[in-house]
């Protein structure tokens, strides 16, 4: 799907501080004349840096499913924005008759505006509805899931995507509470579930909200699709660069690079199409973390297409 948009200078009000900016683009751009994909355009910081490294002959495609992105796209003939989830990457490359690309970058974190704009419903401190949609044109919200999922569905979601050990108890009590409480805002949801918190309260709430965000936006399924499709479209020697922010994503990327599978497997097989460039994930340094606290949990992995 494409939107009728006009290219312009970036809207500075749509702010985002790119994580591992130089390190990720250093790894991505291996040929200044190549074709690249920024699978997660967001605030546009990574795309701007990529474009600064490319010649006039190069091309950059960028994906994002947030329609607000259309308000701050670069006026650059080398740039093409695609209004879509990156899980459909191969379909759009076929549309543009692109057989192979030199590299793909995916920064899987939320853009700062998602957290800072309270009406998007991503923050535990927001007094706006419990929304969490990256694509505001889709109908299903976090509130819909909270009100309609079965106890079993809620338990599985909170356990698998929030990695909370008391998921069964939370799900059981939530099904009871939702018949009496309206849960009109993120704050109300956070206030209720905080009664089940253990350890660091803010971390606990973040993990609970993470479970709903992943479910609303099909994040795990989309990442699996991206990794599978990337292996078919990146040319030999090209790089796949992924920046993740929680263990679920990082494990998927690690196993995909090491074994060719997105699920954990014992040992490796002969289907691995990427070779990890580094033994361990690369992390932000102390200076970056000091400048941007949201980079603290970032991990970057680089796979080289075989």
pLDDT of residue 121: 67
> Cα angle vertex 271, ends 214, 87, to 5°?
30
Q: From CA 198, how far away is CA 202, in angstroms rounded?
A: 10
CATH number belonging to the domain at 21-113+219-305, selected among 3.40.50.150, 3.40.190.10, 2.30.130.10, 3.20.20.70: 3.40.50.150
Q: Calculate the average pLDDT of the chain.
A: 89
**pLDDT-based confidence at residue 117 (cuts at 50, 70, 90):** low
**pLDDT-based confidence at residue 84 (cuts at 50, 70, 90):** very high
Mention every residue, 6+ apart, whose C-beta is less than 8 A from residue 181: 188, 192
Q: Which CATH architecture has domain 118-217?
A: Orthogonal Bundle (1.10)
| Mean pLDDT within 47-76 | 94
pLDDT of residue 9: 44
**Contact in structure between 238 and 30 (CB atoms under 8 Å):** yes
Q: From CA 150, how far away is CA 236, in angstroms rounded?
A: 46
Kindly report the backbone phi and psi dihedral angles of residue 61, in degrees, each rounded to the nearest multiple of 5, phi listed first. -100, 140
Q: How many CB atoms lie within 10 A of CB 16?
A: 23
- Judged on CB neighbours under 10 Å (0-12, 13-18, 19+), 166 is middle
Sheet holding 274-276, edge to edge: 79-83, 59-64, 35-38, 101-107, 234-244, 299-305, 274-276
| Mean pLDDT within 36-60 | 97
**Contact in structure between 291 and 267 (CB atoms under 8 Å):** no
| Mean pLDDT within 76-101 | 97
For the entire predicted model, the pTM comes to 0.87
| Mean pLDDT within 226-237 | 95
DSSP string, 5-69: ----S--TTS----TTHHHHHHHH-S-TTSEEEES--TTSHHHHHHHHH--TT-EEEEEE--GGG
21-113+219-305 and 118-217, same CATH topology: no
Half-sphere exposure of residue 272, counting CA atoms within 13 Å on the CB side? 18
Q: From CA 229, how far away is CA 154, in angstroms rounded?
A: 30
pLDDT of residue 69: 87
Q: From CA 111, how far away is CA 201, in angstroms rounded?
A: 23
Q: Is the pLDDT of residue 135 over 90?
A: no
How is residue 252 written in tokens?
A: 């998927």
- What pLDDT, in 10s, does the model give residues 232-276? 999 999 999 999 999 999 999 999 998 877 665 444 444 678 999
Q: Which residue has the tokens 């040319």?
A: 235
Q: Is the pLDDT of residue 15 over 70?
A: no
pLDDT of residue 136: 83
- Domain ranges, ordered by start, for the chain: 21-113+219-305, 118-217
Q: How many CB atoms lie within 10 A of CB 188?
A: 15
């Amino acid at each position: 799907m494409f939107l009728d948009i006009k290219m312009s200078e970036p809207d500075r009000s749509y702010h985002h501080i790119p994580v591992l900016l130089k390190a990720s683009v250093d790894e991505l751009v291996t040929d200044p004349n190549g074709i690249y994909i920024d699978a997660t355009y967001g605030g546009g910081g990574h795309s701007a840096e990529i474009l600064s490294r490319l010649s006039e002959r190069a091309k950059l495609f960028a994906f994002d499913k947030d329609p607000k992105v259309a308000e701050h796209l670069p006026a650059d003939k080398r740039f093409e924005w695609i209004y879509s989830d990156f899980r459909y990457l191969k379909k759009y490359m076929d549309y543009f008759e692109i057989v192979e690309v030199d590299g793909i970058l995916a920064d899987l974190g939320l853009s700062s505006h998602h957290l800072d704009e309270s009406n998007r419903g991503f923050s535990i401190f927001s007094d706006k509805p419990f929304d969490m949609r990256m694509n505001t044109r889709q109908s299903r919200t976090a509130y819909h899931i909270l009100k309609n999922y079965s106890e079993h569905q809620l338990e599985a979601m909170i356990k698998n995507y929030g990695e909370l050990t008391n998921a069964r108890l939370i799900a059981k009590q939530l099904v009871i509470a939702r018949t009496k409480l309206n849960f009109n805002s993120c704050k109300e949801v956070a206030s209720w579930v905080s009664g089940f918190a253990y350890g660091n309260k803010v971390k606990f709430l973040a993990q609970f909200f993470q479970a709903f965000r992943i479910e609303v936006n099909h994040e795990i399924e989309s990442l699996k699709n991206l990794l599978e499709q990337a292996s078919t479209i990146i040319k030999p020697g090209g790089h796949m660069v992924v920046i993740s922010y929680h263990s679920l994503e990082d494990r998927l990327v690690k196993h995909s690079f090491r074994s060719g599978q997105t699920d954990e497997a014992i040992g490796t097989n002969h289907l691995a199409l990427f070779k990890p460039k580094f033994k361990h994930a690369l992390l932000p340094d102390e200076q970056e973390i000091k400048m941007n606290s949201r980079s603290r949990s970032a991990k970057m992995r680089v796979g080289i297409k075989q």
